[in-house]
Chains A and B, each alone.
Chain A
């Protein structure tokens, strides 16, 4: 199995501010960490490698300092790290990022699986995973909470839903985005730390991955942030249980209160 794990360097959520002019996140002077969901994706990839053999490649798009999260990924079991970095990528939204990552993945060659965190804690869009899968024309599943089995050519998994989970079978290659429940990430090992210190992080530019200038960075990004607000909290929910008839009775009883 060759597994690519997409990792984003994000500002530590303990210390987040918004830029008052652009309404985007102000990243200056804020400590950077590995996106927590990506850490779970990485752990799952390393577990798959330990069971089935293969290679785990950590991939990140970001400024040169994003190299740090790739080294960190190596301490946790990734075999190597690849950084896609170019001034031209600056200002990329999820569309341009998906395009860029897809170009990078193709540059890296064949793969069996791509694992991503379900979303990054800075942008919180959850769009890059599905966007990347669409660009690569591979099937995807989001919010994966468990990989049930992995066999030649297919993977059976559980997707977390609001009430319970869906069981899904996907052909390989495919892309999965994972939730935190999928595993508990390990503590970086001493051998991993030593390896990470010496590791060479391959850096790919826009030219290296053959990206079109008009598709990357701000130029390739249709998104404009108009307004940032906290969504209103969800109302109370009630789950009806029992037979279909009982559930209908309960529903009618609830509705009567409003008549």
Chain B
């Protein structure tokens, strides 16, 4: 049902618009509203807060369909989930009651504020600070490359509350659009996923009520790590949907394109490329679905499965989209066909929500622990 709904919106609304959104660097506000009307924003929100109580697997299914249309649009949707996960995972009941119902209906959107100019892969380099002043937290610092920045109304931000304690001195907060001292910096001009908004968040003596702290003081890093463990299969699924879309385009083209008097799909060189693409896509699908089901069973450790599917599916997406451009040849390189955009969109998947190098570190560390 979720898959069907996501597919319908993708086919009717996203695919006809994607080239224009990409060209104009335009945020897909209307499409996200349509998704909200179709209840897609509520799939991962617990039923008591107006959602459907779905898990990682449900999100993965929805994102796969959305990414078949446009990874930029799908990223905007995914970033909303990423943004609210900290509240879902570690937030107090009051915070959940305050924010989750609006997320479930799609009335409000969320964004996740982790990255800074000196803290990307090394999250411990965070320089944003939060100081308690009476009944308020005062935040100072700048977050960089925040997806849905300027478009979302709810921001989950990590800041150092006790810098001397290192990673144990970080805490997460909810900052709302319109909070005093909270503003947006420049909007980035990106290579791909141009429909998504990527922007700086600037906190200058930004004052928020004391009760906007997510979880206990000093638990920010744990919340971030848990959030990323659950969200990474979503990014993997963006790679899966994208790879599937590129394969669909390549096969369709190869059946139509005639050279030397035959459709090019009848040449073994092309057939083998398409076969390899299909194998990769199917293997990624199997790994992602397995990882998502594993995560939904609430296991003790999910980092390895989560990282594995992220690495595999996003590396696959890069390869398969590049090969799709190759199958389409000169046409593939032109903007008239969608595969060049797919190739540009694929690259970010290997970079964001933890680069694929960092994912391999995680997998390595987990292996090290398992065999100790």
Stretch at the interface among A105-113, A187-195, A207-215, A239-247: A187-195
B5→A190 contact, CB < 8 A:
yes
A186 at the interface (CB under 8 A from B): yes
B52 at the interface (CB under 8 A from A): yes
B2→A187 contact, CB < 8 A:
no
> With A and B bound together, what is the CA distance between A194 and B47 in angstroms?
14
A contact patch SS:
helix
B272 at the interface (CB under 8 A from A): no
What A residues does B13 contact at CB under 8 A? 187
B interface residues, tally (CB under 8 Å): 15
> With A and B bound together, what is the CA distance between A187 and B5 in angstroms?
7
> B34 touches which one: A186, A190, A193 (CB < 8 A)?
A186
What A residues does B8 contact at CB under 8 A? 187-188
What B residues does A188 contact at CB under 8 A? 5, 8, 38
Count contacts between A and B, CB distance < 8 Å: 32
B5→A189 contact, CB < 8 A:
yes
> With A and B bound together, what is the CA distance between A192 and B298 in angstroms?
30
In the complex, the chain A residue whose C-beta lies closest to that of B8 is: A187
Q: Give the shortest distance, in Å, between A131 (CB) and chain B (any CB).
A: 33
Q: Give the shortest distance, in Å, between B182 (CB) and chain A (any CB).
A: 32
A187→B34 contact, CB < 8 A:
yes
B39→A186 contact, CB < 8 A:
no
A190→B2 contact, CB < 8 A:
yes
B43 at the interface (CB under 8 A from A): yes
* A186, A187, A191, A192, most chain B CB atoms within 10 A: A187
Size bin of chain A's contact surface: under 10
B98 at the interface (CB under 8 A from A): no
What B residues does A191 contact at CB under 8 A? 39
What B residues does A194 contact at CB under 8 A? 1
B37 at the interface (CB under 8 A from A): yes
What B residues does A190 contact at CB under 8 A? 1-2, 5, 38-40, 42-43, 52
What A residues does B12 contact at CB under 8 A? 187
B222 at the interface (CB under 8 A from A): no
> With A and B bound together, what is the CA distance between A193 and B3 in angstroms?
13
> With A and B bound together, what is the CA distance between A189 and B51 in angstroms?
12
Q: Give the shortest distance, in Å, between A217 (CB) and chain B (any CB).
A: 37
B5→A193 contact, CB < 8 A:
yes
Within residues 33 to 92 of chain B, which ones have a CB less than 8 A from any CB in chain A?
34, 37-40, 42-43, 52
> With A and B bound together, what is the CA distance between A18 and B13 in angstroms?
34
> With A and B bound together, what is the CA distance between A127 and B317 in angstroms?
54
How does the 8 Å CB contact mask read for A38-80 relative to B, with 1 for contact and 0 for none?
0000000000000000000000000000000000000000000
In the complex, the chain A residue whose C-beta lies closest to that of B43 is: A190
How does the 8 Å CB contact mask read for A132-170 relative to B, with 1 for contact and 0 for none?
000000000000000000000000000000000000000
In the complex, the chain A residue whose C-beta lies closest to that of B35 is: A187
In the complex, the chain A residue whose C-beta lies closest to that of B54 is: A190
> With A and B bound together, what is the CA distance between A191 and B50 in angstroms?
11
> A187 touches which one: B9, B42, B52 (CB < 8 A)?
B9
> With A and B bound together, what is the CA distance between A191 and B1 in angstroms?
10
In the complex, the chain B residue whose C-beta lies closest to that of A190 is: B39
Q: Give the shortest distance, in Å, between B49 (CB) and chain A (any CB).
A: 14
> A186 touches which one: B1, B37, B40 (CB < 8 A)?
B37
Q: Give the shortest distance, in Å, between A36 (CB) and chain B (any CB).
A: 13
In the complex, the chain B residue whose C-beta lies closest to that of A185 is: B12
B43→A187 contact, CB < 8 A:
no
Contact A193 to B37, CB < 8 A, known contacts A187-B8, A187-B9, A187-B12: no
Q: Give the shortest distance, in Å, between A42 (CB) and chain B (any CB).
A: 14
> With A and B bound together, what is the CA distance between A237 and B36 in angstroms?
44
Query: When A and B form their complex, which 9 residue pairs have the shortest distance between CB atoms, in order from nearest?
Result: A190-B39, A187-B38, A189-B39, A189-B38, A187-B8, A187-B9, A191-B39, A186-B37, A193-B1
Given contacts A187-B37, A188-B8, A190-B43, 16 further A-B contacts (CB under 8 A): A186-B37, A186-B38, A187-B5, A187-B12, A187-B34, A187-B38, A188-B38, A189-B39, A190-B2, A190-B38, A190-B39, A190-B40, A190-B52, A192-B39, A193-B5, A194-B1
Task: Jot down 8 A-B pairs with beta carbons below 8 A, ordered by A.
Answer: A187-B5, A187-B13, A188-B8, A189-B5, A189-B37, A189-B38, A190-B38, A190-B52
A contacts, CB < 8 Å to B? 186-194
